[in-house]
Amino acid sequence: MKRMNHERMKRIRAKFKRDFQTCHVDKTNDKPQIDSAFEPVHTSESGFVDKMNHIPAREKFDETNRTDDMNQYGTIRSMTIKSPFSTFVEIDDFLHPPIFGGKAQHTAEFLDLNNRQTPQLDTKLFHTTTYYPEQPYCHLICSKIHEIIFFTDTVHTYGAKNKKNLYKSVVFPVHEKKTNNQSCTHHDFIQIRVPVVVGEYEIEICLEEDVMFEEEIMKVNEISKEVVLTNCKFVPTQFSSSFGNGTCAALKGNLLIEGYIHQNIEYTAVYNRNAGTIQKEPAASRRLRQKIVLDLIIHLLQVQQVRVSYDGKGI
């Protein structure tokens, strides 16, 4: 009886040991499964799906930002205008006086020797010689533009009413007169016709211009300018005595100048969703006033006959 109980207890202990090992193995296997329920597992496919899901939202956000930027920064545009100017200056200082032609006329009274009975005392002979030197012309050497711009709501009528009038400007001779005391014989020089700089002058012109825009302007970004001369003419008002060859020199005269400033204005316009609406009265930000000081350096030239020293080897 005791032996049976001992064998029975032995079988019970062996069964309990097997059950305990099985239970231990199941618990260790269950632990990763329990932890995996709380730890998310990231794979390449799940990340790609998340990115695809966020793309429409980003595009919508960028579209909104684009519209906000247009409202905040506006649109960049450009326009081209011409600002005309016309002026004159009095010149009485020359590097080489300009030469102008004249008429040399000689008269003579003579007696016809073939008609001895009736002398022809009322017969006269006229001999007229006219010279035609080339007219002086201008060449633009340099231009400087000093400008102040600002937006205004006042209408500037002074320049509009008097834009066609001719105003006198300030002129400064910038040439230096050179003296040549060297003497030479008629065998030491040759005569040629070349353009000669009659004078070099700096001319100051003041302008005031109003520029109207078709839309509201936030700011002016850049203004590029180019000066174009359309007419430049020297009109003498005082001459020297004749040189004896039918020519004389101009001692004083007026220089007439006409042209324009070609401007390309780059500006930032206010973004307006209601572009179809038209305002009757121009807004303050649609009128730009320019106060310009234009400095021109001009060469006054004329083709003249000059002497060039020649030593037999070269000029």
Bridge-based pairing of strands 75-91 and 167-168 is parallel
> Is 83 in contact with 260 (CB distance < 8 Å)?
yes
Higher pLDDT, 129 or 278: 129
Residues belonging to the chain: 315
- Tokens 């231990």 — which residue? 24
Give pLDDT, residue 196: 93
Query: Terminal CA-to-CA distance of the chain, rounded, Å?
Result: 154
Residue 22 CA: distances (Å) to CA of 12, 29, 35: 15, 11, 21
**Residue 82: band (very low, low, confident or very high) from pLDDT cuts 50, 70, 90:** very high
Span 92-138, pLDDT tens digits: 999 999 999 877 777 877 666 666 655 566 677 788 888 888 999 99
Higher pLDDT, 5 or 38: 5
Span 150-187, pLDDT tens digits: 888 877 665 554 555 677 899 999 988 766 555 555 55
Residue 114 CA: distances (Å) to CA of 2, 118, 122, 124, 125: 199, 10, 16, 16, 17
3-state DSSP assignment of residue 278? coil
> Is 109 in contact with 269 (CB distance < 8 Å)?
no
Which neighbouring-strand residues pair with 265? 79, 223
Q: Residue ranges of the domains in the chain?
A: 74-98+135-309
